[in-house]
């Protein structure tokens, strides 16, 4: 019975991620297809091609990206955002989500580059992985400790959230990992994290060579 429960648990862990992914994709396709039918039914009547909803959703996203890239539409978007940036509760939610999305968006030249680092205080035996979100303290209100300090976001596992700490730059060490990989690994508490790119697997140190007997020069009487 114990072996059967182990097999069941292993099978569940193997099937569950695939099942949830397929379900989310199915829900997205169904929603987009229904949206396309509702939007295009007055124009196309009974004519419909499967997959038209996905094509329409992709076209709308591309159109939105093109429009927000223009100066006139960007100014119009600022007016549209006014209700979301002025209402007390909505302002906090919208600003947080927008800032989080902007961090992962393609950056401008003057934006903070995305960087994954290891945060290790001096003399500490522990370390955490974080994302540098600010490379300086310029523009922040008075009260922060002086010096060359950076802001590091520490994501939490199994939930959306984390902490932002301001630490000296000497405490951080950049690592060769993308932001997406770091966030994905932090979400599952680094249980299935792969070794960093380019890192060689640990190897056992070579055993010392056997000692050779010491030879002395032959002495003649």
Angle between helices 71-80 and 52-68 (to 10 degrees): 100
**Cα angle: 153, vertex 180, 9; to 5 degrees:** 105
pLDDT in tens, 160-192: 678 889 999 999 999 988 888 888 888 777 876
pLDDT in tens, 70-110: 777 767 777 777 777 777 777 777 776 776 666 556 555 44
Kindly tell me if the per-residue pLDDT of 212 is higher than 80. no
Structural tokens at position 149: 């300090």
> Taking the CB of residue 29, how many other CB atoms lie within 10 A of it?
15
The Cα–Cα gap between 17 and 159 comes to 17
pTM attached to this predicted model: 0.49
The Cα–Cα gap between 41 and 37 comes to 5
**Structure-token match 């992914």, residue found:** 21
DSSP state of 105: S
Exposed/middle/buried for residue 16 (C-beta within 10 Å: 0-12, 13-18, 19+)? exposed
């Amino acid at each position: 019975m114990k072996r059967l429960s182990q097999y069941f648990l292993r099978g569940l862990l193997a099937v569950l991620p695939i099942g949830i992914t397929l379900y989310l994709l199915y829900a997205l396709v169904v929603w987009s297809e229904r949206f396309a039918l509702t939007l295009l039914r007055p124009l196309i009547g009974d004519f419909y091609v499967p997959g038209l909803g996905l094509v329409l959703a992709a076209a709308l996203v591309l159109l939105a990206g093109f429009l927000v890239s223009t100066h006139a539409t960007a100014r119009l978007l600022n007016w549209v955002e006014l209700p979301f940036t002025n209402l007390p509760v909505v302002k906090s939610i919208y600003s947080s989500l927008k800032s989080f999305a902007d961090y992962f968006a393609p950056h401008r030249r003057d934006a903070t580059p995305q960087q994954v680092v290891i945060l290790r205080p001096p003399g500490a035996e522990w370390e955490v992985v974080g994302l540098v979100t600010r490379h300086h303290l310029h523009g922040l209100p008075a009260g922060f400790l002086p010096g060359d300090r950076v802001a590091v976001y520490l994501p939490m596992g199994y939930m959306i959230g984390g902490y932002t700490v301001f630490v000296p730059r000497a405490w951080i060490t950049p690592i060769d990992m993308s932001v997406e990989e770091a966030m994905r690994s932090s979400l599952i508490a680094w249980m299935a994290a792969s070794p960093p790119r380019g890192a060689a697997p640990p190897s056992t140190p070579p055993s010392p060579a056997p000692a050779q007997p010491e030879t002395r020069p032959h002495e003649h009487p």
